[in-house]
Amino acid sequence: MTEPSAASMGDVLTLGIETSCDETAVAILDRGSRLLANLVYSQAELHAPFGGVVPEVASRDHLRKLPLLVREALAQARTPASRLGLVAATSGPGLIGPLLVGLSYAKGLAFGLDIPFIGVNHLEGHIFAHALSTPDAGPPFMALIVSGGHTCLVAVPEYGSYRPVGSTLDDAAGEALDKVGKLLGIPYPAGAELERLAATGRADAIPFPRPMAGTHGFDFSFAGLKTAVSIYVAKHPGVDRADVAASFLESVVDVLCGKAIEATRRHHLRRLVVVGGVAACGRLRTRLADVAGPLGIDVRFPPRPLCTDNAAMIAAAGSHRHYVLGEQHDLTLTPDPRMGL
């Protein structure tokens, strides 16, 4: 007798694949949005000596790791590949080589199994991390997508329909955290560790600028802030690292919080959804909750493991596009490193 599968026989399973940057991730999701497997393998250690992601190194490691993770995910879900009904993979934005690896593998698998394939926008994926974790708090809402590669505000009238409201003009917030982290001797990716260091420092120790905070629009800019920190540290070699981390993080949180709340109000929305790796930041979470509560804005964050890159969000977005909106892609789809929402 064979082992009973964790998935019931009537399920149609979606395999999600994410390889847009330095996480190789595979997830299996059933139609009821139940996660049967959710594996994330971070290449961070591989890139740490370089202080950032080396695209060619990332591509090669995705190629090595992806087939192993798919096999492991199927084993964890206790399902044969023949039970998959859809393959969803990130098709952009991201690094071209890493995207090509995931997309080519996904297309090959879908072709081999003779099932539909769908390419997923990584940014829409981040929004679906919220849909997956909190299905009862749906649109309309304002989404703040804040990660290592992106910082933008998007009005979401319904899933599948996105109205960009503002975006970073240069560095993403996570990128600034990683670069300032590097300056303070914290290995890449620095966000979580920088936050731990900041907790031991004084947030009002150094008056770093709040870039674009006073402007009416909803665009961001973090490159100047990063330079301001670097100049300050060069001029004050004895400065307490914790004070630098705390003051810098406070500036980033101030700007994100101010713009996100104002955009939500200005668009007459009652819900703010914060997604992407930087949404894992405890300081950002508590500050936004404190400010939003009295204004009657319902602010939501996915659980931390779904904030940073993962394939569960890609499976969820692909599943919505295919099963709800009736979409699929043919096997000629190519990655788009600069794809917007």
Does position 125 bind ligand KG4 by CB under 6 A? Answer: no
CB 169 within 8 A of CB 221: yes
**Among 153, 165, 91, 88, CA closest to 127:** 153
Does position 276 bind ligand KG4 by CB under 6 A? Answer: yes
Q: Residue 218 corresponds to which amino acid?
A: F
Q: Which residue has the tokens 């940073």?
A: 308
Q: Which is nearer to Zn ion, 11 or 309 (CB)?
A: 309
Does position 148 bind ligand KG4 by CB under 6 A? Answer: yes
177 interface partner picked from ligand KG4, Zn ion, none, CB below 5 to 8 A per type: ligand KG4
Does position 11 bind Zn ion by CB under 5 A? Answer: no
Query: Contact region for ligand KG4 (CB under 6 A) — 147-155, 157-165, 215-223, 224-232?
Result: 147-155
Q: Which is nearer to ligand KG4, 29 or 129 (CB)?
A: 129
281 interface partner picked from ligand KG4, Zn ion, none, CB below 5 to 8 A per type: ligand KG4
Q: Which is nearer to ligand KG4, 147 or 328 (CB)?
A: 147
280 interface partner picked from Zn ion, ligand KG4, none, CB below 5 to 8 A per type: ligand KG4
Grouping H, G, I as helix, E, B as strand and the rest as coil, residue 37 is: strand
- Which burial class, exposed, middle or buried, applies to 170 when counting CB atoms under 10 A from its CB (0-12, 13-18, 19+)? middle
> Which residue, judged by CB position, is nearest to ligand KG4 in the bound state?
277
Sign of CA dihedral 74, 77, 80, 82: negative
Name the β-bridge partners of 287: none
Q: Which residues in the 304-333 window bind ligand KG4 by CB under 6 A?
A: 308-309
Which H or E element spans position 124? helix 122-133
Sign of CA dihedral 187, 184, 50, 53: positive
Query: Contact region for ligand KG4 (CB under 6 A) — 76-84, 173-181, 206-214, 231-239?
Result: 173-181
335 interface partner picked from ligand KG4, Zn ion, none, CB below 5 to 8 A per type: none
**Peptide bond just before 93 cis, omega within 30 deg:** yes
Does position 147 bind Zn ion by CB under 5 A? Answer: yes
Does position 186 bind ligand KG4 by CB under 6 A? Answer: no
Q: Which is nearer to Zn ion, 30 or 309 (CB)?
A: 309
All residues at 6 or more sequence positions from 1 whose CB lies less than 8 Å from its CB, including other chains: none
Grouping H, G, I as helix, E, B as strand and the rest as coil, residue 112 is: helix
Q: How far is the CB of 124 from ligand KG4 (least distance, A)?
A: 12
**Among 148, 149, 128, CA closest to 139:** 128
CB 60 within 8 A of CB 74: no
Query: Contact region for Zn ion (CB under 5 A) — 199-207, 258-266, 306-314, 316-324?
Result: 306-314
Binding site for ligand KG4 (CB under 6 A): 21, 147-149, 174, 177-178, 189-192, 195, 276-278, 280-281, 308-309
Binding site for Zn ion (CB under 5 A): 147, 309
